[in-house]
Structure 1
Amino acid sequence: MDIEALRVAVGQQEIDTVVVAMTDMQGRLQGKRFHAQFFLDEVTEHGTEACAYLLAVDTEMNTVDGYDLASWDNGYGDFALEPDMATLRVLPWQPGTALVLADVMALDSGGPVRVSPRQVLRAQTDRAAALGWTALAGTELEFLVFEGSYEQAWDQGYRGMVPANRYNADYSVLGTGRIEPLLRDIRNSMAGAGLTVESAKGECNPGQHEIAFRYAEALTTADHHVIYKTGAKEIAASRGYALTFMAKPNAAEGNSCHIHLSFRDAADGSPVMAGDGPYGLSPLGASMLAGLLAGLRELTLLLAPTINSYKRYASGSFAPTTVAWGPDNRTCALRLVGHGPSLRVECRVPGGDVNPYLAVAGLVAAALSRVPEAQGAAGQLAELPPPVTGNAYALTGLPRVPGTLEEALALWESSALAAEAFGADVVRHYATMARVELEAYRSAVTDWELRRYFERI
């Protein structure tokens, strides 16, 4: 939908509400609902404002210390939300409603707020564009569906929840048929919102499913990702289900978010990474894959942002533990898939809790870190280590995927790659986010501790 189509829809009383939303650090949509005519009269030209604390709070929306952007010391002022009209679309699951995503801008300078997730990704895709390349990405999100509402799950302390499927329904047509009305509603609603839906399938954990969407330019994919997550939850709630993208909701298989990455020449659309070298890689593609391998541990904080993220990583779980690559090898952190123009790298580290803007930005930055031209210098392309063709879980002597948020934070703060690619302000901002998460976790007393120690210690 463009702005003229919106004017027509408003005039015909088909649209009465426009949501203006930014994406916060946790990958959630935050914003305002406007009367559609006011949006057309005022917001399209002047934008709107929101409290800068939206990029300086924890998951519970608590104000916390440590952020340069917003604090009690500087009075928690506003920043501007500038609608990106290219993202304007109807939301079929919210009658009479359209949505537009916004870029976060500073009120004083009018420039972008660099720590905003959408701006973090823009900065990296701009680096690729300066080389004449377009970064392409696709995200594959898994989710678990439980019977009953979100409110019921909250009130019962998330105990005794009943999955929508009682058994492993991986690829099962019968199993997905059990909740096809929900899956169909999500698929068709997302298509109506302008996303290109590919398929839906069952997954391993009881009640677990995946809906796949076509790849796109990296920023578009991240935009679609956050719209889909919000929409899927709202549609599930309307049908009496609670749907979660949490990385590890229970002891069974967690929810992954595999991210596919490739690059195309912006002028003629030819693939940058594919060639006639080993495994179908070009020399440049091999060097990019080497960069991804070298940078993965340092940038894991962008791929696994919560305490819960790290509980996915276990041998035999299809969540990686070893920083390795392999052609079509699902035991590796980086899986090379596709052939010819479709050749791409699949990063299997992120879970369903990932912020797609930050994760894709990290992968683009790592890939470009071994491209001499991207570093402003001539030089040799990096040599790609040999692939792993067997069970990567069983290997010793290779780098490991960070096992805790503490480890990922330490690697992030000491990373020369992160400092160079993102800047000290972005590194400091997301280090603060991780530190806040860790301190909240350390202060919590869990059900596990009560059961284990209350009487018997």
Structure 2
Amino acid sequence: MANQLHPNVEALRKAGATRVKVAASDIDGILRGKYLHIDKFESASTGGFGFCDVVFGWDSQDTTYDNTSVTGWQHGFPDALARIDPDTARRVPWDDQVPFFLGEFVNADGSPYPVCPRQTLKRVLARAEKLGFEVMTGFEFEWFNFRETPQSWAAKRGVGPEPLSPGMFGYSVLRMADNPGFFKALMDEMEAFRVPIEGLHTETGPGVLEVAIAFSSALEQADRAILFKTGAREIGKRFGIMPSFMAKWSQQYPGCSGHIHQSLSDGKDNLFFGAEGRRGMSPLFESYVAGQVACLMEFAPLFWPTINSYKRLVDGFWAPVKPTWGIDNRTASFRVLAGSPRSTRLETRCPGADVNPYLAMAAVVAAGLHGVEQGLSLTTPPVTGTNQGAEAVARAPRTLIETTRAFRESAVARDWLGDTFVDHFAATREWEWRQWLDAVTDWELKRYFEII
């Protein structure tokens, strides 16, 4: 029956649940959601529920765009139809075990809402499936942590956050001992939240951590990634800790990455493994890497979506700044790990921690599969050492507006993501750039206020 409740939904009534938490991603990768009474949730689980489409019509500060056509004041910000995905059922350990579901947006006829990030990724994965591939992925995030609350941070007016720990101390067992409760909560409560963590450690920088989320299918991994970013912030509140996934909060420290590991499977075997291939890579793997090398700059705003993203792209600070590939080389944008049938994979190292996981995932998969569809070859040798062999390769642009213009004109992006999405996302990035142009920064005041 069309209106029959999904078992995951039916179980809530039997368990005595009275409220359910639901959320969906906006364009910036911020979860927007609400609590629903169990009666409303049961109805919504079969027919969807109304959710104001302003979530795609405003920026991260809730200021409405003036340059978008899909949504805007000209349409009156009506409700869009949010559809709950019952397979995302989980409970929130740090919120009294409240049931939680992720959702996505659809049109009135049930077709995918064209600018919904989760739907955008699903469109790419559906095309991958038609090609005969299951996409397997894993996210890694670096992020800084501070002894701040929203109130203390507001009182400081955005200046001088107090790091969780001092100094540059990567892989430190000693620093982990300083905050055992926070580490334990991240490991144990994320596991209970269906976001299993493979590894968690300190990184180089005061108060910075790195997490590796357990490998899974691509949609499940993107769900885990967006839930990790939100969950880490919510868990941190209990310990007086404010996590920040900003790409680069200080000029003097390395930035924060959002590396994406990938492989393609036919449901049984890792198709990237090639025992007889060059460097242990199958021809399919080579074409996939070649696609990402060729298309990096066309998809760049999905990897570097904010003004701040480009402050991370500086030489000598670990973040790759050129579309290069290498064999187990962390200075390259595309790190090829060619080993056993189980472990062979690609690590795309250029995205920052500030990505929308759905969109960054859609971009890497689309670029790689473009290479497969077109039969692209790796025409340059792998870089060695500190990007040796990449001297003639152009570096990435240093501003959001430059990459946004390339994205808007990209035929590959339009082919894989759709014209409506490309036009809308480009408009939102142009808006972000204009907000930056109008801002008077502390750098300008320090540099010009007295002297000029």
Q: Is TM more than 0.5 here?
A: yes
Q: 2:411 aligns with which of 411, 416, 424?
A: 416
Q: Which residue is equivalent to 1:356?
A: 357
* Pairing of 1:100-249 with structure 2 (within 5 A): 100-107=101-108, 109-249=109-249
The answer to which of 75-84 and 337-346 deviates more is 337-346
Q: Which residue is equivalent to 2:402?
A: 407
Q: Which residue is equivalent to 1:389?
A: 384
Q: Give the CA deviation at 1:291.
A: 0.7
Q: Is the 8 A contact 1:320 1:393 kept in 2?
A: no
1:440 matched to 2:435? The reply is yes
User: Aligned equivalents of 2:140 and 2:447: distance in 1?
Assistant: 37
Q: Is the 8 A contact 1:167 1:205 kept in 2?
A: yes
Q: 2:420 aligns with which of 425, 429, 437?
A: 425
Kindly tell me: are residues 220 and 400 of structure 1, through their superposed partners in 2, closer, same or farther at Cα, counting changes over 3 Å? same
Cα deviations by residue, 1:145-177 (Å, 9 ceiling, x for unpaired): 111312211221132221111012201101121
Q: Give the CA deviation at 1:9.
A: 5.0
User: Aligned equivalents of 1:381 and 1:436: distance in 2?
Assistant: 35
Three-state SS of the structure 1 residue aligned to 2:189 is: helix
Q: Is the 8 A contact 1:405 1:434 kept in 2?
A: yes
Cα RMSD of the aligned pairs, angstroms, is 1.7
Q: Is the 8 A contact 1:168 1:206 kept in 2?
A: yes
1:295 matched to 2:302? The reply is no
Kindly tell me: are residues 345 and 12 of structure 1, through their superposed partners in 2, closer, same or farther at Cα, counting changes over 3 Å? closer
Q: Give the CA deviation at 1:338.
A: 4.6
Q: Which residue is equivalent to 1:44?
A: 45
Three-state SS of the structure 1 residue aligned to 2:371 is: coil
Identity rate, percent: 35
Q: Give the CA deviation at 1:344.
A: 1.0
Q: Give the CA deviation at 1:274.
A: 1.6
Q: Which residue is equivalent to 1:274?
A: 273
Give the TM-score taking structure 2 as reference length: 0.95
Code of the aligned partner of 1:26: D
Q: 2:37 aligns with which of 16, 35, 38?
A: 35
Code of the aligned partner of 1:16: T
Q: Is the 8 A contact 2:279 2:338 kept in 1?
A: no
Q: Give the CA deviation at 1:6.
A: 5.5
Structure 2, unaligned runs of 5 or more: none
Cα deviations by residue, 1:277-335 (Å, 9 ceiling, x for unpaired): 11211111111111110001111111110000011111221101121100011111111
Kindly tell me: are residues 212 and 370 of structure 1, through their superposed partners in 2, closer, same or farther at Cα, counting changes over 3 Å? closer
The alignment covers a number of residue pairs equal to 445
Three-state SS of the structure 2 residue aligned to 1:369 is: helix
Three-state SS of the structure 1 residue aligned to 2:198 is: strand
Cα deviations by residue, 1:76-106 (Å, 9 ceiling, x for unpaired): 1111111000001101011141111112011
Cα deviations by residue, 1:47-84 (Å, 9 ceiling, x for unpaired): 21111111121111111122221111122111111100
Code of the aligned partner of 2:41: F
Q: Is the 8 A contact 2:289 2:368 kept in 1?
A: yes
User: Aligned equivalents of 2:388 and 2:161: distance in 1?
Assistant: 31
User: Aligned equivalents of 1:11 and 1:248: distance in 2?
Assistant: 47
Q: Which residue is equivalent to 1:370?
A: 371
Q: Which residue is equivalent to 2:258?
A: 257
Q: Is the 8 A contact 1:144 1:208 kept in 2?
A: yes
Give the TM-score taking structure 1 as reference length: 0.94
Q: Give the CA deviation at 1:368.
A: 1.1
Q: Give the CA deviation at 1:426.
A: 1.3
